[in-house]
Structure 1
Amino acid sequence: MIFERSLQRELAYTAGAVFMVLLTIMLTTMMIRIVGFAASGQVDPRDVLVLIGLTVIGYMAVMLIVTLFVSILFVLTRWYKDSEMVVWLASGVSQTRLIKPIGLFAAPIIILIVFFAFVGWPWSNAQSKLIRARFQQRDEVSLLAPGQFRESPTTHRVFFIESMSPDQGRVENVFVTSTENGKVNVIVSKTGHTETMKGGDRFVVLENGRRYDGEPGHPDFRISEFARYGVKITSQPVVNTPTSSTTSTPGLLRNPTNDNLGELAWRAGLPLIAINLMLLGIPLAYQNPRRSRTINLVMAVLIYLTYSNLLNVVQSQIEQGKMSFGVGLVSLHIVVFALVVFIFWLRVRNRPLFSRAMFQRASQSR
């Protein structure tokens, strides 16, 4: 049918444009945020692009939901604004006839939302956490940076080097300070290099330097000179503690704790949100030609934010054991679906959502 093909074609064009705008905003925001983490030493600068890509994958389901809802509102609002919808309604096409073509258009998007909610979200979170853990638990040599004071996360040591060879094999003008049992140890050296023993232990061997040992506030510091002095490099194995947001969906089902059930309800809620918002966008797009189109967009933003925040509240209630998993999984979405049916009923009967008489009665009651 010409009507269905025209609607689906325009929805596809609009959805592509909306998705590109959302993706650009997401990439810009994540780039600023993750580059800030890299500058503060929380992530490896070489992993910035990888972390940005993983973050986009994690939030892909949310971006697709917004894309679907906004594109439906944009297209139908324009049809009302340009009186195209009036022509279709006069030709015998009711608002309920819009459900089929919009549903066919939304079906592949909803399938992608299911995939990214149940697979992409936990996988991207797990990979991001693993990359961060590897960087935070690297050995002390990896911490060194020329011209910067660096504190070891595993020991009470602070390192400073003036220069370093490209392979991190040799360093020059080294300063190392550590605190043990209330005493301060300060080591300065002109040069140094790394060595690996037969047992696998690694050392930074300092050459031609001095060591100062003593307790702050007391004058009896001991000063000793050395030709070679070894500082053992400590390292930790990478420990990646799983959380509910990084656990795969089958893992949540195998271990149904409150946290895992709350996370499962949140993931299952994303495609349900997409379906309800897809249906809600049809009657919500009703547009008076003499009214600005921005009103519908503002309402769409408020509805989505309210809906998503309520889903987060349901997740929190399940995690705290205040709501059962079954009730939390369906209650919110059933209420929203009933609201959608009610709004459809008002539109089919050509009744406004908010009449002037309602506002008059509300003002008189005050």
Structure 2
Amino acid sequence: MIIFRYLFRELLITLTAVSAVLLVIVMSGRFIKYLAQAAQGILDPGVLLTIMGYRLPGFLQLVLPLGLFLGILLTYGRMYLESEMAALSASGMSQGRLLKYTLAPAAFVALLVAWLSLILVPSGLAEVTRIMNDQDSLTEFDTLVPGRFQKLRDGSRVTYTAELSEDRTELGGVFISETVVSRTDGHERGLSIVVAERGSLMVQEDGSRYLVLGNGYRYDGRPGQADYRVIKYDTYGVLLARPAASAELGKLATVPTRELYASDNLEYQAEFHWRLSLPLLVFVVTILAVPLSKVNPRQGRYLKLLPAILLYIAYLGTLIAARGALEQGRTPLYLGLWWVHLLFLGVALLVFYWESFSLWMAAYRRRWAGLRTHHV
């Protein structure tokens, strides 16, 4: 039990550290994309952390299996390099017993990934979809930030306000620049620039919203040309567009697992098999990582790290390709994604028993050579 607790603790520390680094890398890229949408006025900055919180389980279900795989390679590789494994082997620790001890933390990680994949991730992504749909109902007036130029309508409109009341109903120092496009040929006809001292929101009976500007000017023309028009106005109304927030989430990702299981739809079944594949992935990569972590102190700690990562990528890539084939009906439903797990389980067992198999073959060759010599 002392050895088991020691291995469990060392593996858990490395798993946590590696998973944390991977999680930060994955979430940083996604958060930057959401920040860009918030800067364009597509998303409300106040919902960014909420969205990232709901997306966290989805990131974890992919990060934890890889974190465990790398954690085993790094932890046991260090122990081989520092001759700790040699001392354990001298006390009766075999590779099979090491795998048995390693499967305990792997089972814990697999249960956590199963909970995330089957229950938590679909509900979290459903909340993200709801938030994105709420963002679609916002107008550019709702996403304005005082003192900042914001591009809207795919960059064709730039809006600026120097002041904005707390209840977001009154503006001061308004500037709006919009590209004018011809309705007949779709070509740009120039710019329309509107400036005003003040502005307020007006909602029509049909639900459309207008920004009513007061005491300002409108300039129409082409940049660099003198044929422009200036209009002074006391009151001017601007229709507020509704920016679309890209949810980028498939509908299947938000469907509860029990509905996927009860459906005969191929896409639903492919999604169901994918969710089951992630916990199974944990056990297969554990069997694969234990023999790959064995290194010679003279070879260095990271000799087998790159081939191991490439093998993991091949496993995950094959799962993704098999999922696409299952969705399109090119793979029978009874095979599902099981054949991928069986294939790489066979590879893992081959790697695991390769050393014993090599020793058995060498002994067999020596015995056969001895028999031939004795016969001669």
How far apart, CA to CA, are the structure 2 residues paired with 1:228 and 1:308?
A: 61
How far apart, CA to CA, are the structure 2 residues paired with 1:77 and 1:239?
A: 44
Once the two structures are superposed, the pairs formed by residues 295-334 of structure 1 within 5 Å of their partners are 295-334=303-342
How far apart, CA to CA, are the structure 2 residues paired with 1:256 and 1:281?
A: 36
| Change over 3 Å in CA distance of 1:207–1:66 after alignment to 2 | same
Deviates more, 1:81-90 or 1:112-121: 81-90
| Change over 3 Å in CA distance of 1:37–1:200 after alignment to 2 | closer
Do 1:18 and 1:71's aligned partners in 2 also have CA atoms closer than 8 Å?
A: yes
CA RMSD of aligned residues (A): 3.8
How far apart, CA to CA, are the structure 2 residues paired with 1:225 and 1:82?
A: 82
TM-score, length-normalised on structure 2? Answer: 0.76
Which amino acid in 2 is paired with 1:45?
P
Per-residue CA shift, 1:121-177, capped at 9, x if unaligned?
Answer: 333333334333433441242254556364448xx9846444332333234445476
* Structure 2 residue matching 1:43: 3-state secondary structure: coil
Q: What is residue 193 of structure 1 aligned with on the other side?
A: 200
| Change over 3 Å in CA distance of 1:317–1:210 after alignment to 2 | same
Question: Is residue 350 of structure 2 the alignment partner of residue 342 of structure 1?
Answer: yes
* Structure 1 residue matching 2:19: 3-state secondary structure: helix
How far apart, CA to CA, are the structure 1 residues paired with 2:246 and 2:32?
A: 28
How far apart, CA to CA, are the structure 2 residues paired with 1:157 and 1:68?
A: 48
Which amino acid in 1 is paired with 2:162?
S
* Structure 2 residue matching 1:142: 3-state secondary structure: coil
Q: What is residue 45 of structure 2 aligned with on the other side?
A: 45
How far apart, CA to CA, are the structure 2 residues paired with 1:12 and 1:316?
A: 34
Once the two structures are superposed, the pairs formed by residues 31-110 of structure 1 within 5 Å of their partners are 31-110=31-110
Q: What is residue 277 of structure 1 aligned with on the other side?
A: 285
Q: What is residue 6 of structure 1 aligned with on the other side?
A: 6
Q: What is residue 205 of structure 1 aligned with on the other side?
A: 212
**Displacement, 1:291?**
0.9
Q: What is residue 126 of structure 1 aligned with on the other side?
A: 126
**Displacement, 1:301?**
1.3
Q: What is residue 367 of structure 2 aligned with on the other side?
A: none
* Structure 2 residue matching 1:59: 3-state secondary structure: helix
Do 2:202 and 2:210's aligned partners in 1 also have CA atoms closer than 8 Å?
A: yes
Q: What is residue 365 of structure 2 aligned with on the other side?
A: none
Q: What is residue 163 of structure 2 aligned with on the other side?
A: 164
Per-residue CA shift, 1:49-97, capped at 9, x if unaligned?
Answer: 3333333321101211112112222232233223332333333332111
Q: What is residue 359 of structure 1 aligned with on the other side?
A: none
Which amino acid in 1 is paired with 2:163?
M
Once the two structures are superposed, the pairs formed by residues 247-258 of structure 1 within 5 Å of their partners are 247-258=255-266
**Displacement, 1:337?**
1.2
| Change over 3 Å in CA distance of 1:78–1:236 after alignment to 2 | closer
Q: What is residue 294 of structure 2 aligned with on the other side?
A: 286
Do 2:176 and 2:194's aligned partners in 1 also have CA atoms closer than 8 Å?
A: yes
**Displacement, 1:15?**
2.2
| Change over 3 Å in CA distance of 1:351–1:78 after alignment to 2 | farther
Q: What is residue 225 of structure 2 aligned with on the other side?
A: none
Q: What is residue 217 of structure 1 aligned with on the other side?
A: none
Per-residue CA shift, 1:191-246, capped at 9, x if unaligned?
Answer: 332234678664433334567899xxxxxx99976544445556599998961123
Deviates more, 1:317-326 or 1:327-336: 317-326
Per-residue CA shift, 1:282-340, capped at 9, x if unaligned?
Answer: 22222222211101222221121111111111111112221123313200001111222
Do 2:149 and 2:159's aligned partners in 1 also have CA atoms closer than 8 Å?
A: yes
How far apart, CA to CA, are the structure 2 residues paired with 1:222 and 1:14?
A: 68
TM-score, length-normalised on structure 1? Answer: 0.78
Q: What is residue 371 of structure 2 aligned with on the other side?
A: none
How far apart, CA to CA, are the structure 2 residues paired with 1:137 and 1:196?
A: 14
How far apart, CA to CA, are the structure 1 residues paired with 2:105 and 2:82?
A: 22
Do 1:346 and 1:352's aligned partners in 2 also have CA atoms closer than 8 Å?
A: no
Once the two structures are superposed, the pairs formed by residues 177-256 of structure 1 within 5 Å of their partners are 189-196=196-203, 202-209=209-216, 227-231=234-238, 233=240, 243-256=251-264
How far apart, CA to CA, are the structure 2 residues paired with 1:27 and 1:39?
A: 18
How far apart, CA to CA, are the structure 2 residues paired with 1:103 and 1:186?
A: 67
Q: What is residue 361 of structure 1 aligned with on the other side?
A: none
| Change over 3 Å in CA distance of 1:35–1:91 after alignment to 2 | same
How far apart, CA to CA, are the structure 1 residues paired with 2:208 and 2:324?
A: 46
Do 1:19 and 1:63's aligned partners in 2 also have CA atoms closer than 8 Å?
A: yes
In structure 1, stretches of 5+ residues that fail to align are 215-220, 354-366
| Change over 3 Å in CA distance of 1:94–1:243 after alignment to 2 | same
Do 1:42 and 1:132's aligned partners in 2 also have CA atoms closer than 8 Å?
A: no
How far apart, CA to CA, are the structure 2 residues paired with 1:314 and 1:189?
A: 59
* Structure 1 residue matching 2:199: 3-state secondary structure: strand
How far apart, CA to CA, are the structure 1 residues paired with 2:208 and 2:295?
A: 73
How far apart, CA to CA, are the structure 1 residues paired with 2:144 and 2:281?
A: 48
Deviates more, 1:264-273 or 1:173-182: 173-182
| Change over 3 Å in CA distance of 1:106–1:226 after alignment to 2 | same
* Structure 2 residue matching 1:263: 3-state secondary structure: helix
Do 1:174 and 1:192's aligned partners in 2 also have CA atoms closer than 8 Å?
A: no
Q: What is residue 362 of structure 1 aligned with on the other side?
A: none
How far apart, CA to CA, are the structure 2 residues paired with 1:5 and 1:144?
A: 55
Deviates more, 1:95-104 or 1:193-202: 193-202
| Change over 3 Å in CA distance of 1:115–1:149 after alignment to 2 | closer
Which amino acid in 2 is paired with 1:274?
V
In structure 2, stretches of 5+ residues that fail to align are 222-227, 362-376
**Displacement, 1:268?**
1.3
